[in-house]
Every structure is written in C-alpha cells, then in structure tokens.
A = this chain, B = another copy of it.
Amino acid sequence: MQTKKNVAIVGSGLVGSLLAIYLRKQGHSVTVFDRRPDVRKVEFSGRSINLAMSNRGWKALGVVGIEKEIRKLALPLDKRAMHVEGEPVYYQKYGEEGEAIYSISRGVLNRKMIDLAEKEGTQFKFEEKVWEVDMPNARLYTGESEKSNWEEYQFDLIFGADGAFSRVRHKMQRQSRFNYSQHFIDVGYKELTILPNEDGTHKLDSSSFHIWPRGNFMLIAMPNLDGTFTCTLFLPFEGEVSFESIKSEQDADVFFETYFSDIKDEISNLKKDFFRNPTSAMVTIKCFPWSYYDKITLVGDSAHAIVPFYGQGMNAGFEDISVLNEKMDKYGNDWQKIFEEYQTERKPNADAIAELSYRNFMEMSSKTADPKFLLSKKIEKKFAQEHPDLWTPLYSRVTFSDKAYSEALKIGDYQREIMDEVMKIPNIEEKWDSREVEEKIISLIRK
C-alpha cells in the first residue's frame, strides 16, 4: 500500500473519473477539478461520438470492479453493417464468436463514472477553472478568469486529465525541450440522431456498427439503450461537398437525399440536428515528456489525443490508468520512477494508436467501398480463420487483445506487405479462396 497522498486530478471526464476511482482504492485523498458544470446536471454537448468500449477499456474497469455495472449501459456490436450506395446492406463480423465492441453514449458513461468516483470518496469541484500550475511545488491556481483573483491549492501530486486542450500540458509546454504537436485533419464531424420507432425499438439493427461510406465523407451510427442511434457525419470542412457548402435547409435536404437516401425517412430529424449541433474538428496531439519529476503527469487525451477512427481514444486513456496502476504496485512511493516508467512504456503505444487511427480515417471513408480492398480483407479473414496460429488480423489485435499497440502496428505493417504481394497474383479475383493463395501467404509468412 502506498503512503497516502493529497492528489489533484484536473478534468472530470472518463479518464479523470477512472483515475480517481483507482487512487481512492489506494487510499489517497482525491480532488477533481473541472472548469465545466457537473455533466450530471446539464444536457450533454451534442458534439460527441458514441464510444466503443473494447478489451483494454473493460480490463481497466475490471481491476477496480466496475466492469459489470458499466456493461449494463452498453450494447454489444459484433459486426459492421455496410450501407454502400446502390447495394444491399452487407455485414462484416468484427472478430471471433463472442467478440464485440460495446456502444456507449459518452454522456451516460461519464455521469456513471462520476457517480462511482464520488461513491468512492472523491471530491469534485465543478465550474472551478484551473489557470496556472506551479509545477515544482504541485500547486494549482483557480479562479473566474485568467486575470481574476486566484485561489491557491497545495497538493502532493497533480494529474492532467483535462483532454486534448489540456491546461496542465499547456503549462508543461512552456518548458524548454518539451516536444509537442497538434495536427488537425481537414474533415469535421457533427453529431446527429436517429430517433426510435414508435414502439421504442431501434430503426436499424442494434447489434451493428452502421457505416455509410461515401468516398471522402461518411456517416456512422451506433445504437443507444433508449432506442436511438447516435450518428456522426464526417465531412470535409471545405470543398464541393462539405460543411461549408451546406448552408440552408434545402442544401441539407439535397445532401441527405443524394447521398443517404436509404435513411431519408430520418432526414427531417437529421436536418434539425444538422443546424443545431456544432461542427467539431479532430486533432492528433503528441507530446513528450508527459511527466514532471514526482509531481505531475498527463493521462488520456491530454497526453495523446487521437482521431476517433479506430474507436480507441477512451480505451487508450483507460489503459494509461491500468499501466499507471501497475507501476504504482511495482514502485510503491517512488512516484518519479512510477511516472518515468509509465511515460516510457506508454509513449510508443500512444504514437502507434495515433498512427493506426489516422490510417483508419482513410480506410473507413474511402477504402471500405473499394472491391479490391474488400477482397483483400476477405482473403485475410479466411486465412486467419483457418490459421489462427499464423495470423491475427490487425483490428483484432488492437480491439480484442491487450498486447501493445506498437506491436500491433508493426505486425500490421508486415501483414500489409504480405497482402500487397498476394493481391498481385494474376486473377486473384477468381482464385482468392484457392489452395495456391493460401500457400503463397504461408510462404510469405515463413520468409
């Protein structure tokens, strides 16, 4: 057991709340600051994408015994439902029998996590804005505005769990030799909703992750417990078909009817949301170091914000907490060692999932409608099923295992090279499931 510390967590989001639970279980005194109001008392933002909890997330919840309770809030999705233009819907299983990702509304989950953290004895200070961090002394300064009178708080440790635009990291960034990058993609997103049928049931299959790929844009839908779907429209900010180009209700009508005619019954609702909800940007943030001596460390998005296209943002953040906890078990009261080993182990994994997520952005929007890409996926899948000892698909490695992301990236690159070779076989379209192709793959693996 560690010596009890007086700990501050900046940010009451998913990762901050989970960390609070972990630290309370270790007996530390925990105060969570958030500049926003208590999410349990306000309507949620209208700018969120549904979460896809997978292996790493469940594992982190399991350690502190809250996995079961969270499962009640989630719907398992065992497949993609692809709504390609002019074709019937087709389904792609995510993994083996019993493997699924779990759709959860961010608002619902965050409220629950705060409840659980509070039950463990965490003190939450909502609508209290942190403006300054005295890093060597682990002091926080809060107040109405940057120029108002500030309140000073003294802690032993401070955790920055304050998201992609972290104030804590912002302070670290002013140090010399702090590496940092923020890269926005040219695509934005908007939250939309598909309402339930009149009897409260889901309008679309509720055990699928629905995708309408449309080249350089796409719509996705993930089910909620209340019969609704949280949809996300990913669309370039500028250009011919873009958020910028949809100015009027009539433009929106034309847009949805042209590209998403199979859900046109929903258009009136989608259209309302379209103009009510904000258009949000997506960013990849990388930085290093994440820690400052034995005083401060960053967790979750504040250390490594990623684009949402692998459904791993929350999972990676929760895994940070698992890893921190392992280091706490290993090093006891040596917080500098805990923070150092945590950041050294996590950094390459955070970079790897950032890269994989960025690549999936390309893949999901454009390649999921490309017959050649789909064929290569089909070949890979068949081979993986017949030779599970020789081939675990990248998606499974990321989603259904807790092996390092960096390893998944490396093996994934090597598998891609093999599949590029396989796709060069003449007439691969006809003989994709032949013995020849199977042997070719085996020989390439052996090489």
Contacts and interface: CB of A to CB of B under 8 A. Distances in A.
A432 B318 CA distance: 60
Nearest to A176: B281
Given A146-B146, A147-B147, A179 B182 contact: yes
A180 B177 contact: no
Contacts of A179: 182-184
A147 B147 CA distance: 5
A197 interface: no
A181 interface: yes
B181 A182 contact: yes
Nearest to A177: B184
Contacts of A173: 182
A177 B185 CA distance: 8
A106 B352 CA distance: 42
A237 interface: yes
Contact of A181 (B146, B147, B176, B183): B183
A177 B281 contact: yes
Contacts of A147: 146-147
A178 interface: yes
A239 to B, nearest CB: 14
Contacts of A176: 184, 281
Nearest to A188: B177
B184 A181 contact: no
- A146, A177, A178: most-surrounded residue (chain B CB, <10 A): A177
Nearest to A147: B147
Interface in A182-217: 182-184
Nearest to A237: B177
Interface in A218-241: 237
A178 B183 CA distance: 8
Interface in A323-358: none
Contacts of A184: 176-179
Nearest to A173: B182
A235 to B, nearest CB: 14
- A147, A173, A178, A237: most-surrounded residue (chain B CB, <10 A): A147
Contacts of A178: 182, 184
A147 B150 CA distance: 10
Given A177-B281, A178-B182, 18 more contacts: A146-B146, A146-B147, A147-B147, A173-B182, A176-B184, A176-B281, A177-B184, A177-B237, A178-B184, A179-B182, A179-B183, A179-B184, A180-B180, A180-B181, A180-B182, A181-B181, A181-B182, A181-B183
12 contacts: A146-B147, A147-B147, A176-B281, A177-B184, A177-B281, A178-B182, A179-B183, A180-B181, A180-B182, A181-B181, A181-B182, A181-B183
Q: Which 7 pairs show the lowest CB-CB distances between chains A and B?
A: A181-B181, A177-B184, A176-B281, A180-B182, A177-B281, A179-B183, A179-B184
